Structure 1
């Protein structure tokens, strides 16, 4: 990773740690709409185990656990995962959720073909370079079993914050302290090469509103 990328990654880690510390449970307890979609897609595929990347304080991981899945949740913020584990204990879901502090620029902490579903809500569009994103999707392919489902969401180049704020190159722009990699449709299609791309669903979230794609793709059997 170039020095500038390392510096941006370190800045973002500090920013998220401070944000989760200052605003515990900042996204609330209700699951996101993409997580509700993902639970249905995972169940239809016969999945029992879910890996969530960038789980934060766990509103979606908790939803998957309530729906009967066994969940392994990762995030690079230990503060967020502490909040997730506490919420899981309170709800009596501690036996369904495990966690790992993990930076997705590194190999995923799972064995080959060891999970059946992967979910990532606005994780791939964080301050990751295009090579980082490609390497992460390769890692998702590695840990998924044939027939496994990958659901992810990203902000895209039609978003109001695209090309606003501080530019870091590679379609990464920082606004309000958060650095976002805005996806083009070409990047989505490139990442789906070798997968069965089931759906690219456009939706909006939040007050701006943020404009996102929800991507559902399956690893061929």
Structure 2
């Protein structure tokens, strides 16, 4: 990553840490709509262990745990994860939640094919370069078991804030102190290479409203007789 991009990412890390410190539980305890969708999907696939990237203070990770999943929650904010653990204990689900301070610019500290499902709500559209986003999705594919599903959400180029505020290049725009990488459909399709792209669903969230895509893609199982060979189908 270019030095100016690294500086932006580090500044955003500090900004988010301060935000969680100043506004504990800022998103409330109700799960996001994408998490509710993902829980139904994961349950239908008999998933037991869910990895959440960018869990923050944990409203979605806590929901997955209350729904009976074992949850591995990661975030680069120690404050957010501390709030998550405290709430999990208070709700009696602490045994089903583990947390790891982790920067998604680094490899995931998990073995290959070790989780059943993965979820990331607006994590990929933070201040990450396109190259870094591709690396994150590659890491998710590595740690998912064959047949495992990844559900992620991102703000896209049809959002009102796209093109507004401070331009950082690579379709990253900073507005109100928060930098966002706005996704094109071409980027979504590119990230699905080597996966089965199941759905790209447009939805809105918040008062602006923010315009997002909810993307569902599955790591293919090896084709019969071709162990390790990828199978790709676009829906």
Give the TM interval when normalised to the shorter protein: over 0.9
| Whole-Å separation in 2 of the counterparts to 1:190 and 1:2 | 22
Aligned twin of 1:200? 200
Aligned twin of 2:153? 153
| Whole-Å separation in 1 of the counterparts to 2:31 and 2:136 | 24
| Whole-Å separation in 2 of the counterparts to 1:14 and 1:104 | 15
Shift of 1:12: 0.2
| Whole-Å separation in 1 of the counterparts to 2:3 and 2:132 | 14
Shift of 1:10: 1.0
Aligned twin of 1:218? 218
Mind listing any 5+ residue stretches in structure 1 that lack a counterpart?
Answer: none
Aligned twin of 1:64? 64
Aligned twin of 2:98? 98
Greater Cα radius of gyration, structure 1 or 2: 2
Shift of 1:125: 0.2
Runs of 4+ residues deviating >6 angstroms:
none
Alignment of 1:1-221 (within 5 A): 1-221=1-221
Shift of 1:44: 1.1
Instruction: State the TM-score, normalizing by the size of structure 2.
Output: 0.93
| Whole-Å separation in 1 of the counterparts to 2:128 and 2:78 | 19
Shift of 1:6: 1.2
Shift of 1:107: 0.1
Count of residue correspondences: 221
Shift of 1:164: 0.3
Shift of 1:156: 0.0
| Whole-Å separation in 2 of the counterparts to 1:130 and 1:13 | 18
| Whole-Å separation in 2 of the counterparts to 1:137 and 1:105 | 11
Secondary structure class of the residue paired with 1:95? helix
Mind listing any 5+ residue stretches in structure 2 that lack a counterpart?
Answer: 222-235
Secondary structure class of the residue paired with 2:94? coil
Shift of 1:46: 1.1
Deviations 1:28-80 (A, max 9, x none): 00000000000011111110000000000000000000000000000000000
Instruction: State the TM-score, normalizing by the size of structure 1.
Output: 0.99
Q: How big is the alpha-carbon RMSD for the aligned residues of Structure 1 and Structure 2? A: 0.5
Secondary structure class of the residue paired with 2:104? coil
Deviations 1:74-94 (A, max 9, x none): 000000000000000000111
Secondary structure class of the residue paired with 1:80? helix
Deviations 1:117-140 (A, max 9, x none): 000000000000000000000000
Shift of 1:194: 1.3
Shift of 1:152: 0.0
